[in-house]
Chains A and B, each alone.
Chain A
Amino acid sequence: MVTAAYPEIQKYLEANDFKNILSWCTENELRLQQDKFVKYYNVFLINYLIANDITNARFLWNRIPSEIKGADPHLKTIWALAKYISQLNYAHIYKHLAINFGPELAPFINELKVSFQRRVFDLISNSYSNISIKDASLYLGISPEEVVRFTQTNGWEKDPSSDSVKPVPVKPVEQVGNGTKKIHSLTDYIKHVRIEEF
Chain B
Amino acid sequence: MDAFVNDSSKTELPIKNLKTLLLKHEDNLENNTQHLDQVLAALDPRTQSMAYLIVLKVKCGDQRKNVQNFINQVSHFLSSFNGEQIRVIPQYFSQVSKHYVEQLYNTRVPSRGVLPLKRAVCVFPEKTNTLTPQHADFLQLCILSKCYHQALPIISESTTNLNPEQTNINVKDVLSYFYYAGIIFTALKKYKQALEAFRQAWTAPATALSAIAIEAYKKYYLVYLMVNGTIPGFPKYTPTVVQRTIKNHCKSYVEYGQTFTGGNVQEIHNKASAHAENFQKDKNLGLVKLSIRSIHRRNIKKLTQTFMTLSLKDIAEHVKLSPADAETTILKMIEDGEIFATINQKDGMVSFNENPETYSGNKILNELDTQIHNIVTLESKLTSINEQFATSPAFLKKILTNEKRSVSQYDNGMEDMIA
Contacts and interface: CB of A to CB of B under 8 A. Distances in A.
Nearest to B331: A127
A30 B111 CA distance: 7
Contacts of A128: 342-345
A135 B345 contact: yes
Closest CB pairs A-B (n = 10): A130-B346, A130-B344, A127-B334, A129-B342, A177-B362, A129-B344, A63-B146, A162-B346, A59-B146, A30-B115
Q: How large is the interface on B (under 10, 10 to 19, 20 to 34, 35 or more residues)?
A: 35 or more
B259 interface: no
Q: How large is the interface on A (under 10, 10 to 19, 20 to 34, 35 or more residues)?
A: 20 to 34
B150 A88 contact: no
Contacts of A182: 365, 369
B345 A192 contact: no
B281 interface: no
A36 interface: no
Nearest to A27: B115
Contact of A189 (B111, B351, B362, B372): B372
A89 to B, nearest CB: 10
Nearest to A181: B369
Contacts of B332: 88
B147 A189 contact: no
- Interface of A, helix, strand, loop or mixed by DSSP: helix
A154 interface: no
A123 B369 CA distance: 29
A174 B362 contact: yes
Contact of B345 (A130, A176, A188, A189): A130
Given A30-B147, A123-B331, A55 B363 contact: no
A88 B382 CA distance: 48
Contacts of B361: 174
22 contacts: A30-B111, A59-B149, A88-B332, A123-B334, A126-B342, A127-B330, A127-B335, A127-B341, A127-B343, A129-B343, A129-B351, A130-B343, A131-B343, A132-B346, A135-B345, A174-B361, A175-B363, A185-B372, A185-B373, A188-B376, A189-B372, A192-B380
A56 B373 contact: no
B328 A88 contact: yes
B371 to A, nearest CB: 11
Contact of A26 (B149, B189, B362, B380): B149
A28 to B, nearest CB: 10
A164 interface: yes
A133 to B, nearest CB: 10
Interface string A170-196: 000011110000100100110010000
B111 A159 contact: no
Interface in A5-27: 26
B272 to A, nearest CB: 22
B238 interface: no
B372 A30 contact: no
